[in-house]
Amino acid sequence: MSDLEQRPTHAEDLNDQMRQRREKLQKLRDANINPYPYSFDVTHFAQPILDAFQDGMSDTVAIAGRVMTIRNMGKASFFHLQDSSGRIQVYVRKDDLGDAAYQAFKLYDIGDIVGVKGFTFRTKMGEISVHAQSLELLAKSLRPIPVAKEQEVDGKKVVYDAFSDREMRYRQRYVDLFVNPDVRDVFRKRSKMISSIRAFLDARGYLEVETPILQPIYGGASARPFTTHYNALDATFFLRIANELYLKRLIVGGFDGVYEFAKNFRNEGMSRFHNPEFTMLEFYVAYKDYIWMMETTEQLLSTVATAVNGSTTVRVGDHEIDLAPPYRRLSMAEAIKEHTGKDIEGKSEAELRQIARELSLHLDANIGSGKIIDEIFGEFVEARLIQPTFITDYPIEMSPLTKKHRSKAGLVERFELIVAGKELCNAYSELNDALDQRERLEEQAKLRARGDDEAMSLDEDFLRALEYGMPPTAGIGIGIDRLAMLLLGQDSIRDVLFFPQMKPE
């Protein structure tokens, strides 16, 4: 064995199984077999073979994939081969392959990637299989893989010893994916979800765009950013926390509708619901308002749910949630009244503070009235909104980028869609009054001076764009990871992200 093959890839010792696999690799090379050939002509996939098989008929097939089980019976063997579509059993006989090839097959391991040419048949025990006429190693696997055994009990699959350690599943997602079929399904559906959203927006003529991730001024949301240094400019840059201000610039530029699936970055803690980088769909449509956006959101979500699950209903815990329109619409004041009995409409900051006290809600002394209302809502209402509910008409202080309400003083034309007690969407009639926008951002600057490090910065170029004139516009942000959790029945954001953020090993 060469020096190279004895060398661990990391500074870790080879365990016995890893050593044995490397020895087999060398034996294969000694037998003049290339364990890493260049290609293989695949003609069929496992699941379609199973679906199409009819007794009395036999197809000639060439399939490729990963060996997942081996049952060796001396001069004949069975193994399961897993490809992107599923698993199929392969039957191998020494008589068919010849001595040398069967000898080589004995050096295969669970986890190896192989190609099989043969014909389909049904075994005595009734399993549709491929009878191998030739067999080719396509890639030798050097690490033992977790082997989960399955047994059918009363038609249900029971899995034994599943690869279930969450840390290892996330750190080695590649293993998680080939070992756990349910995980593959989740990510296929996530992909389906995104493509159906894209199809929905494309069908309406909106333009998919890309905007800067590295930004000299961050804005469009209230959050702490990741900071970096741009060497060539010797300047501080930020990873975007939102793309809102750039998309609005594009509306100023004359596009009627733009959208972007944006990776955003927020320098905050991680949790079941938060990953520091996450995906948000934002889209903006000229000449529309937030009422229109509510209808569009209803259509979008019901369309996407049907595309992904074939139904508008999803189960979350004990609740059956129905995404079929229409969704309940409730102003924030109405929602608070419904769940606390308190009327917050037209109340001063002192009065709101009194209401909060009556509700035994402890508040920071320096927060303003908008924030107080938000706290009351967050504490007593949000988690109780299970069926999709549009909460509308937010206090102006909390919404510096939103147009003033057409009829209600002190409020703005904004809605959030709450589903299963979580915010899923946030949308406005976008503020296009450049002078009002300047005042609002100056207000934010004062908050920042008071110590609110999540208050927005004043972006002069954005204001300049608005001064040229932006049409009335409706805009929305939809948390794609949250939507994936909802539609895919996952209770942790890590289970809908291929590579969730982890501390270094």
Instruction: Give residues 426-465 in contact with RNA (rule: CB under 7 A).
Output: 426, 454
Span interacting with RNA, options 188-196, 275-283, 285-293, 313-321, rule CB under 7 A: 275-283
Span interacting with RNA, options 3-11, 271-279, 389-397, 435-443, rule CB under 7 A: 271-279
Residues 6+ apart with CB under 8 A from 489: 314, 315, 316
Tell me whether residue 164 or residue 228 sits nearer to RNA (CB atom).
164
Euclidean distance between CA atoms 109 and 115, whole angstroms: 14
113-122 and 60-72: which strand pairing?
A: antiparallel
Tell me whether residue 16 or residue 154 sits nearer to RNA (CB atom).
16
Q: What share of the chain is helix, strand, coil (3-state, %, to 5)?
A: 35, 30, 35
Q: Which of residues 355-414 bind RNA (CB under 7 A)?
A: none
Which residue pairs, CB below 8 angstroms and at least 24 apart, start in 80-85? Answer: 81/46, 81/114, 81/116, 81/130, 82/46, 82/178, 83/42, 83/45, 83/46, 84/45, 85/45, 85/46, 85/47, 85/48
CA-closest candidate to residue 381, choices 413, 342, 447, 335: 335
CB atoms within 10 A of CB 384: 12
Span interacting with RNA, options 181-189, 201-209, 429-437, 488-496, rule CB under 7 A: 488-496
Euclidean distance between CA atoms 379 and 361, whole angstroms: 8
Q: How far is the CB of 412 from RNA (least distance, A)?
A: 15
Q: How far is the CB of 271 from RNA (least distance, A)?
A: 4
Q: How far is the CB of 395 from RNA (least distance, A)?
A: 14
Q: Which of residues 132-171 bind RNA (CB under 7 A)?
A: 144-152, 160-168, 170
Angular region, 58: left φ>0, alpha ψ -120 to 50, beta rest = beta
Tell me whether residue 222 or residue 331 sits nearer to RNA (CB atom).
222
Single-letter amino acid, residue 230 = Y
Q: Which of residues 100-129 bind RNA (CB under 7 A)?
A: 109-110, 121, 123-127, 129
Site track for RNA across 79-98, x = CB under 7 A? ----------x-x-xxx---
Q: How far is the CB of 10 from RNA (least distance, A)?
A: 13
Tell me whether residue 106 or residue 188 sits nearer to RNA (CB atom).
106
Span interacting with RNA, options 28-36, 231-239, 428-436, 475-483, rule CB under 7 A: 475-483
Q: Which of residues 323-352 bind RNA (CB under 7 A)?
A: none
Q: How far is the CB of 3 from RNA (least distance, A)?
A: 22
Position among 51, 71, 253, 450 found at the interface with RNA (CB under 7 A): 71
CA-closest candidate to residue 222, choices 419, 472, 402, 474: 402
Position among 45, 105, 278, 462 found at the interface with RNA (CB under 7 A): 278
Query: With binding defined as CB under 7 A, does residue 243 bind RNA?
Result: no
Span interacting with RNA, options 28-36, 67-75, 198-206, 288-296, rule CB under 7 A: 67-75
Tell me whether residue 38 or residue 160 sits nearer to RNA (CB atom).
160
Q: How far is the CB of 266 from RNA (least distance, A)?
A: 5
Position among 207, 213, 223, 386 found at the interface with RNA (CB under 7 A): 223
Tell me whether residue 214 or residue 502 sits nearer to RNA (CB atom).
502
Tell me whether residue 30 or residue 161 sits nearer to RNA (CB atom).
161
Q: Which of residues 177-216 bind RNA (CB under 7 A)?
A: none
CB atoms within 10 A of CB 427: 28
- The conformation of residue 430, written as its DSSP 8-state character, comes to B
How many residues sit close enough to RNA to count as binding (CB under 7 A)? 78
Would you give the end-to-end CA distance of the chain in angstroms?
Answer: 31
Euclidean distance between CA atoms 210 and 246, whole angstroms: 9
Euclidean distance between CA atoms 67 and 82, whole angstroms: 6
SS3 annotation, 16-55: HHHHHHHHHHHHHHHCCCCCCCCCCCCCCCHHHHHHHCCC
CB atoms within 10 A of CB 350: 8
Span interacting with RNA, options 2-10, 31-39, 220-228, 402-410, rule CB under 7 A: 220-228
Tell me whether residue 177 or residue 223 sits nearer to RNA (CB atom).
223
Single-letter amino acid, residue 61 = V
Q: How far is the CB of 494 from RNA (least distance, A)?
A: 5
Q: How far is the CB of 234 from RNA (least distance, A)?
A: 29
Residues 6+ apart with CB under 8 A from 114: 64, 65, 66, 67, 81, 108, 135, 136, 137, 138
Q: Are 328 and 321 in contact (CB under 8 A)?
A: no
Position among 132, 396, 479, 484 found at the interface with RNA (CB under 7 A): 479
